[in-house]
Structure 1
Amino acid sequence: MTDKILTGDRPTGQLHLGHYVGSLRARVELQNQHPQTILIADMQGLTDNGHNPAKVAENILNVLADYLAVGIDPQRTTLCLQSGLPALAELTQFYANLVTVSRLERNPTVKAEIASKEFGASIPAGFLTYPISQAADITAFRATLVPVGDDQLPMIEQTNEVVRKVNNVAGQELLVECRALIGKASRLPGVDGKAKMSKSLGNALVLGASEKDISKAVKKMYTDPGHLRIEDPGKVEGNVVFTYLDAFHPDEALVAGLKEHYQRGGLGDGQVKKVLEECLQELLAPIRERRERFIADKGELMRILQAGTQAAREETGVVLQDLKKAFGLPIL
């Protein structure tokens, strides 16, 4: 069975290791198996950056360069800009009439993000309704598979609720439901061990990180506070260094051996961190080099983005017309 894949990121900064392990790695593999679209979600980025639109605008090409650097091929994956697809805004408006405010407020992902951003009573309307916008993104491409972190599962659930409501109103199977694809490590903690990796929390290691930045980040990583002497038995649960080794080291047997040694005692934190740093340096060096080449040619980046957005505009326009016809609305 061939799936249609839709995924994307908000361009509010460079992409980081959390994005890579969460879905970027899967996207590179999936583009060889299924039709795939990656959406640079600039309009969604504005839902909590409306007061500072430059933060979004200046990172659109940064994010595109990150995609290309990790191996996304514009010949096999459609790369497009959310704000360049007018059908998405219309679909969002249609769906907004089928979703209640109370349902949006109950969305666990929205609740968690509102709390983390400390909006209080000053929640931007666009932020509260972004699950509807995300439903429009997914359904506009008739996507059936969406690579996400496990914190985004409520968004997939709400998208499928919208699909069922639209199909009920239309009296036909107009839209298709989707399912989530969770990566090997669906959520990566920050280098400080607190919460998930996030640009806004300042605990992220970006894909274009320098050798020095990587070394500094690994040295700061949280291990087992009870592991005071090398000979002491240590814990691997909640130990950020081992979490990263599980996520990124290609030799699972080696990591398993390190864990066993650490747990019985006799293995120092510095030795484990050395293995992790070597792993991350090897992973990120070629990504960093490719990224530097791509970002140096902004004209080519714009050409790739324009071509992908034009193709996506035609595809999403068909879904919008189908919905209008089903709803009995004129197409002018």
Structure 2
Amino acid sequence: MGNKKRVLTGDRPTGPLHLGHYVGTLANRVRLQDQYEVFLLIADYHALTTRPEKADILASREYIREIVLDYLAVGIDPEKTTIYLQSDVPEVCELTLLFSMLVTLPRVERIPTLKDMIRDQKIENPSMGLMLYPILQAADILHVKAEIVPVGKDQESHVELCREIARRFNSLYGEVFPEPEALIGDVPTLPGIDGRAKMSKSLGNAIFLSDPPEEVARKVMQMFTDPTRIRPDIPADPDAPHNVVFRYHEAFNDDKAEVEELKARYRQGKVGDVEVKRRLIAALERFLAPIRERRAYYAARPQLIDEILAAGAAKVRPISQATLAEAREAMGLSARRLAELKAQLP
């Protein structure tokens, strides 16, 4: 594995994962684990930036287990992918502090997603932790010396800041860190079942990977179609962006001939929304049934989750400790280096 490039990616433990996560990141992670040395971070420190209340922290502990179950259920293999908890690697905190000395506040304030988060959540007085979040993210990436970071287009600015931090550190103290590349996923955003632009737990418009069959069916029957089509004999465009049912058929129906047949009948006004939805329910069941089966297997063995996270921390911590020691040495902060510097003083 040593000659494979390192990848770092992760999730905040703020809720279970849904079909939007599968399309956006999870399917890609399953592919990446055969090509790269992948580190998969559950970012519980990042969750504190907007949810520091005790109740939220306790809830996140349960979400951590749910997220690991989702990872395993979709095919992420802990033998190939190192799954670990951010707070199990305290060296990241010291590296964040060291990096924060190299970045100005105005530079952090220019991060578009940070501005969006403050606006969308109506945060009048952002905490220092929230402002540090892009720097903590850089420490997450660089403590394992990751070379590739899979991100959506909206997160590209975070990787650019990370590259700037690595560059500045290296120019001040010597070559320690790689300048990681953003791997921009070319995947469409899965709309919510209500037709909104994005599926999201907070908007209540998500189908979760852990939803039972009856819940999936209930949500599909609520799903947004074409509001101008009040009868099934009215021709309509199945490719219209707002026609959510067909967007899900395209993403999850493995019977492509069926999708094309439904589209053709929809254009001719020869199929009703109920039939299109029932066919989607069947397609989603074909997709989700094996995921549910794997999830149930691991859920019945809770000690495996603890073992996977413990093994992940045991692998990551020595890497992180070595990186931090190297950074401290380069900066002149280690005892040995300080002794050398004192010996050179007049």
8 Å Cα contact 1:26/1:183 also seen in 2: no
1:167 to 145, 166, 170: 170
1:226 maps to which residue? 228
Alpha-carbon separation, structure 2, partners of 1:315 and 1:256? 50
1:64 to 65, 68, 79: 68
1:289 maps to which residue? 293
Unmatched tracts of structure 1, length 5 or more? none
SS at match of 1:222: coil
In the comparison of the two structures, how many residue pairs are matched?
330
CA RMSD in angstroms, aligned pairs only: 2.0
Alpha-carbon separation, structure 2, partners of 1:228 and 1:6? 48
1:307 to 308, 311, 322: 311
Amino acid at match of 1:176: E
Of 188-197 and 67-76, the range deviating more from structure 2: 188-197
Give 1:254 shift. 4.1
1:324 maps to which residue? 328
Amino acid at match of 2:319: E
2:80 maps to which residue? 76
1:23 to 2, 12, 25: 25
1:202 maps to which residue? 204
2:191 maps to which residue? 189
Give 1:326 shift. 2.0
Amino acid at match of 2:132: T
> Which has the larger Rg?
2
In the TM superposition, structure 1's runs of 4+ consecutive aligned residues that sit over 6 Å from their partners are none
TM-score (normalised: structure 1)? 0.92
1:147 to 146, 150, 159: 150
1:180 to 176, 183, 186: 183
8 Å Cα contact 2:109/2:115 also seen in 1: yes
Give 1:4 shift. 1.4
Percent identity between the aligned chains? 42
SS at match of 1:234: coil
Alpha-carbon separation, structure 2, partners of 1:192 and 1:137? 35
2:344 maps to which residue? none
Give 1:252 shift. 4.1
Give 1:241 shift. 1.4
Give 1:210 shift. 0.5
Counting only pairs closer than 5 Å after superposition, residues 121-136 of structure 1 correspond to structure 2 as: 121-136=124-139
TM-score (normalised: structure 2)? 0.88
Q: Does 2:70 match 1:34? A: no
1:90 to 85, 89, 94: 94
8 Å Cα contact 2:225/2:244 also seen in 1: yes
Alpha-carbon separation, structure 2, partners of 1:247 and 1:155? 28
1:105 maps to which residue? 109
SS at match of 2:317: helix
Of 189-198 and 205-214, the range deviating more from structure 2: 189-198
